[in-house]
Structure 1
């Protein structure tokens, strides 16, 4: 019995041993399998461990910038900030008193206190305060932090984000387009068409962390660098574009037109200096856009009488034009229609074709197209001037032309600017042939694309594209002569565009607007008024087209007035920016009365002032009470009594009031501060582009308007000075 019991125990022990052995074998095998494969149930153990102790962060790249021709940013990525308020008492620092916080934050965010207080009183851990607390600048962030610290408010934090910023605000907005902040989606313009080039590739930073999530000291990091988007340099000139924007805004405010469109270009190579439309928008606050169309590229309009310059050039080129030939103006029947001149068909009797061009006679150009050129030849020139196809300008959504060529009347009407419709860019493109001695060049905006990740190595650089040679240099020159008559002849329709000394030439246009119910809209202001001009006549450097659609005119106002307000401003300033200045009378040379500019460099500001006044000169101190670092005129230069001596100290230098300054003094000031000076007119300063009191640091350009002194005001001032002198003499006599 005992033997049996022992035998049973032994068997059980053996079974238990075998079971343990099997378990150990299975466990060891499993362990060995895990060690070899590093997997459990198909899950990678190394990956799991790596994920627990390793963090990968995204390193965002910056979207490429849009730059003007000088390299100044038109569109760029900047850091912005969103205010986040911690309001839970579970946090170490939180907003304890919503009412006090609302009182402090409301004026800084331009919000109602009640709205902020309601948000801060919610049963949440943290809240944002709405759209006014998003996309804050660094300055706004600093102001809020300072105000919160002064008020003892804790729990205010900021989330840093990259946002798209347009520093010039309403500036070629339909060209640049904008980036939608909700989803970072590019919309309109170059932001959309060049999205692939501008888009950045994010990088990655991988590092090991401890149980609390902090990076381990001396741990290895893996960094995949971000790739910023390409920078795109445009042909736009910030000065010319700004001039255009200001002039168009003034006309928009005064005349409330349906549309305005303008293009300024270099006719020798096709680069576009400026392009703008109204209505426009600020890309930084794009939510209220009313117009998404770049009219200069995407809008077809009947060109009106600006078309006559191309009909004229075609006739001259074909040798069929004799400007001294006579024709009967007024009305002319053709193809069941009657062509009428713009003065209600009265005309001016029998006049020459040259006078017909200056007066913008429709009859003259209907006859030229039908009787001198002929239909087929006329349309050959329409094609040669590029009107049958888009220009190929590097802007999105360029529209095609609409050409009427079904009848003899279509030919006549197209010749003087009706029936067919073209884009403003097509008119500018065609006009380059007249400005450029017969060679037509393609307009363009993108000058180059550069890779900022490789020392701005060029990815693309534009080369001017010759698109045709529809006329000879001789024809172009003769056409420009006739265009001069439009502006300078007494009978010309473009006398409003005369700029003394600049040799402006061009052609006016008044285009009727098709009525949706047939025919054309009626009314003196139901037209598109335009001017296509260039300057200087013999070697045009600026080609400018301006059109104003249905301005609200007073009874005494002509349609050319709002157009001229834009054209003259932009053309004159553009020419001056390009160092093409009119002949102006030089200021009389100074007679040497023995007074010379003193040497005040190194003196304190107060010492310099005393020294200058002792010489009976007028000191102009720019900066705080520090030592003088520069002066104009230089020491030893001859001056006259009362002339300004300008000194700078490089400390908090601000712009003075230049009203009444002479051009000589203005030039000296620009020299002292290394400013690029541009001036309009003659005489003395009336207006200045840099505001009085504005800091001069980082200022580059200074524009001033000069006007002769008002004779009556000058006489009054002279009388006042004489009276003051007499009073002084009388008082001195009494004292004696």
Structure 2
């Protein structure tokens, strides 16, 4: 009995203990159930912390677009490849989510990422041995294109995944690269503006990322029926430039031709609408491809950031100051050759060191006489008054163009020798854009226009205009009478036989301008460099004369020429080619009669006529005929009826048959664009120069509304396919005796102490 009582006591104790523990545990669970807390930690929040997925939705960077809507900077998807090795990732999944067969994966993947089977196999096995969840395959597996990604996906290999991102892309390569600029990646891997318009308007181009929130399981999959919250990204705004892609293409092609033929150390050029200040084209050499940014030789946009002694182009402003001040008489004569202000100073010489005897000041300007300029400065205007005019012309300040990196030159004016040399463009330095801004007064009856590159900023989603630039007048330093007087003098520079700008005559349009041949300071001495090529040859001109539609400035530094008289050839080639093509493209009415050129051929109304008959007639007249389609009857022709063309130009005939694409190798972009209009297809192009590749094989068919893509290169730029360039060359043959001003700007000899 006693023993039974002891057992009962033990049993009661055990039951009581376990009951207490049970009640404690149940109570604890009930407390957790009611309060949802453990050690003051909210379990719901704790679970949500690990279950909630917050995924960023990247915002697309805004596009950079030209005035016609052509995209100059865009975004394209790029993919990063990685392989999942953890077998646990495939648990509870109906499909295998990790790499199962290393050997098979290495063998199939190798041809697609430029790695050997052994390298891929080693990466996979090493990752598995080190218990890594996933592995990547180096640089070869990043920045994959969509096509490359799809090819890898089609291999049907388990465990391979892709991470998609957007990459900045410049479809036309080096096209206006110093203007457009490029992006770089920040610490988060997002593109940010690093140069050019990309940098200047980075705040506008950058978008605001969005995000998506949902709950997931332990494998990362979204829970069924889970709530999802999506905040869409706000994509960046589009920036529209005043650039015109066709005019820019004319400029790029011409500059590349000169680069290949003359190998200058620098070329800088720009085309402006002088009535508004809009920049229609701007380029530099050396250039670079913003997609690769390899071997960049020049980080500066020289048109706005390279101050140099411009040479005789500055003489137009000396003339404007003298005329406006009322001290200029063009019929007055002076003794050319050399001049000094008194016996304590050395002589300033004309470029030929002997002059042309006694001539008028008008003739002196046409001949680019240094003596004429220093006499006007010293004896007529006075140095102080001339400096006032230089400031009125805004040559003492930046233009304020809406591009990053603008630099300011320096008016060197302390000593009389500085003042004299400034009058004919030496000693003081200016940027090309400063000269262009000042020269707008000659196109606007004395009013100057501020240059600008940004046309507008547009909300990419709504199309709302967020910012819009318009023409801005920044002063009127001269009268309309003075502006017209200087225009006439500059026209004579081009049209008169004693003018230094004869080689800049245009075929169909009147033009006016001023040449420049500037000496280059010698970095190893206090003087200037010697040698036929050691000059900066330049021209600033406009056309047509009465109502200038375009202004153009070109400077070519140190071209490889045999004699300084040849230095103007590369400059004139660029000017004539770009001006003629651009004015025709803008449908400006020609205002100059053709002289010394082949007789034009009139395109008659040939619609409905027999193809072979018309083709034979035009071919007999020297026309390059291209027939589209296999029909017997003509449907349309380009150029259109009533147009005049020159021998060797292309005439494109569209028949009633199907659209067939000809062999476009060696074609200019202008001719390809005309072909697109005739065939009613869209034309896309990459590069500059002449056609080397086409997406549709010769004689292949293309439907109306289709897309024709051509790749252009300058490898064949020596071909004489551009009839305007060819004719212009013929016009100026035999004119190498036109020795502009080389040597014209010989240094003002130092002041006697």
Taking structure 2 as the reference length, what is the TM-score of the superposition? 0.77
Higher relative contact order (CA 8 A, sep 6+): 2
**Please, which of 175, 198, 201 is the counterpart of residue 194 of structure 1?**
201
| Alpha-carbon separation, structure 1, partners of 2:151 and 2:24 | 71
| Alpha-carbon separation, structure 2, partners of 1:365 and 1:45 | 89
**Contact 2:287–2:296 (CA under 8 A) maintained in structure 1:** yes
| Alpha-carbon separation, structure 2, partners of 1:403 and 1:597 | 66
Matched, 1:230 2:208: no
**Contact 1:232–1:449 (CA under 8 A) maintained in structure 2:** yes
**Contact 1:414–1:420 (CA under 8 A) maintained in structure 2:** yes
**Contact 2:608–2:634 (CA under 8 A) maintained in structure 1:** no
Matched, 1:298 2:305: yes
Residues 500-553 of structure 1 deviation map (CA, whole Å, 9 limit, x = unaligned)? 221121101111112233122222221111111111111111111011111121
| Residue equivalent to 1:382 | 390
Residues 387-429 of structure 1 deviation map (CA, whole Å, 9 limit, x = unaligned)? 1110000011211120112122222211110111111110110
Matched, 1:373 2:374: no
Comparing 614-623 and 562-571, the one that deviates more: 614-623
**Please, which of 338, 351, 355 is the counterpart of residue 363 of structure 2?**
355
C-alpha spacing 1:489/1:416, structure 2 compared with 1 (3 Å): same
1:177-326 correspondence runs (5 A): 177-181=181-185, 183=189, 184-326=191-333
1:566-715 correspondence runs (5 A): 566-582=574-590, 587-588=601-602, 597=608, 622=628, 631-632=635-636, 646-647=654-655, 653-655=660-662, 672-674=678-680, 693=697, 697-698=706-707, 705-706=722-723
1:446-525 correspondence runs (5 A): 446-453=454-461, 455-516=462-523, 517-525=525-533
C-alpha spacing 1:294/1:614, structure 2 compared with 1 (3 Å): closer
**Contact 2:239–2:456 (CA under 8 A) maintained in structure 1:** yes
C-alpha spacing 1:614/1:233, structure 2 compared with 1 (3 Å): closer
1:229: Cα distance to partner? 1.0
C-alpha spacing 1:175/1:617, structure 2 compared with 1 (3 Å): closer
Q: What is the CA RMSD across the aligned residues, in angstroms?
A: 4.4
| Residue equivalent to 1:402 | 410
| Alpha-carbon separation, structure 2, partners of 1:243 and 1:129 | 43
Residues 697-717 of structure 1 deviation map (CA, whole Å, 9 limit, x = unaligned)? 44699998448999xxxxxxx
C-alpha spacing 1:675/1:145, structure 2 compared with 1 (3 Å): closer
| Residue equivalent to 2:77 | 79
Residues 304-334 of structure 1 deviation map (CA, whole Å, 9 limit, x = unaligned)? 1000001111111111111111011111113
Matched, 1:436 2:444: yes
1:48: Cα distance to partner? 2.1
C-alpha spacing 1:671/1:54, structure 2 compared with 1 (3 Å): closer
| Alpha-carbon separation, structure 2, partners of 1:162 and 1:667 | 30
Matched, 1:561 2:550: no
**Please, which of 408, 429, 433 is the counterpart of residue 421 of structure 1?**
429
| Residue equivalent to 2:748 | none
| Residue equivalent to 2:122 | 121
**Contact 1:95–1:155 (CA under 8 A) maintained in structure 2:** no
C-alpha spacing 1:131/1:331, structure 2 compared with 1 (3 Å): farther
C-alpha spacing 1:358/1:461, structure 2 compared with 1 (3 Å): same
1:135: Cα distance to partner? 2.6
**Contact 1:188–1:292 (CA under 8 A) maintained in structure 2:** no
C-alpha spacing 1:118/1:176, structure 2 compared with 1 (3 Å): same
C-alpha spacing 1:47/1:440, structure 2 compared with 1 (3 Å): same
C-alpha spacing 1:326/1:669, structure 2 compared with 1 (3 Å): same
**Contact 1:301–1:423 (CA under 8 A) maintained in structure 2:** yes
SS at match of 1:548: strand
| Residue equivalent to 1:50 | 48
**Please, which of 376, 388, 401 is the counterpart of residue 393 of structure 1?**
401
| Alpha-carbon separation, structure 2, partners of 1:42 and 1:283 | 56
Matched, 1:162 2:166: yes
C-alpha spacing 1:165/1:467, structure 2 compared with 1 (3 Å): same
| Residue equivalent to 2:622 | none
C-alpha spacing 1:35/1:245, structure 2 compared with 1 (3 Å): farther
| Residue equivalent to 2:750 | none
| Alpha-carbon separation, structure 2, partners of 1:373 and 1:621 | 64
Where do 5+ consecutive residues of structure 2 fail to align?
88-97, 128-133, 618-624, 643-650, 684-689, 713-719, 728-753
| Alpha-carbon separation, structure 2, partners of 1:439 and 1:477 | 12
| Alpha-carbon separation, structure 2, partners of 1:570 and 1:495 | 17
C-alpha spacing 1:396/1:614, structure 2 compared with 1 (3 Å): closer
Taking structure 1 as the reference length, what is the TM-score of the superposition? 0.79
1:80: Cα distance to partner? 1.9
| Residue equivalent to 1:175 | 179
| Alpha-carbon separation, structure 2, partners of 1:708 and 1:192 | 36
Residues 678-706 of structure 1 deviation map (CA, whole Å, 9 limit, x = unaligned)? xxxxxxxxx98997957874469999844
| Alpha-carbon separation, structure 2, partners of 1:26 and 1:87 | 41
Where do 5+ consecutive residues of structure 1 fail to align?
599-610, 678-686, 711-736
C-alpha spacing 1:351/1:707, structure 2 compared with 1 (3 Å): closer
C-alpha spacing 1:644/1:56, structure 2 compared with 1 (3 Å): closer
| Alpha-carbon separation, structure 2, partners of 1:407 and 1:620 | 65
1:43: Cα distance to partner? 3.5
1:336-355 correspondence runs (5 A): 336-355=344-363
Residues 172-216 of structure 1 deviation map (CA, whole Å, 9 limit, x = unaligned)? 111111112574343211111211111121110112234543223
Comparing 507-516 and 48-57, the one that deviates more: 48-57
| Residue equivalent to 1:680 | none
C-alpha spacing 1:676/1:533, structure 2 compared with 1 (3 Å): farther
1:59: Cα distance to partner? 0.9
| Residue equivalent to 1:734 | none
| Alpha-carbon separation, structure 2, partners of 1:709 and 1:646 | 26
1:87: Cα distance to partner? 8.8
| Alpha-carbon separation, structure 2, partners of 1:616 and 1:465 | 51
**Contact 2:178–2:196 (CA under 8 A) maintained in structure 1:** yes
1:451: Cα distance to partner? 1.3
**Contact 2:665–2:693 (CA under 8 A) maintained in structure 1:** no
Comparing 553-562 and 195-204, the one that deviates more: 553-562
SS at match of 1:264: strand
C-alpha spacing 1:353/1:255, structure 2 compared with 1 (3 Å): same
SS at match of 1:135: coil
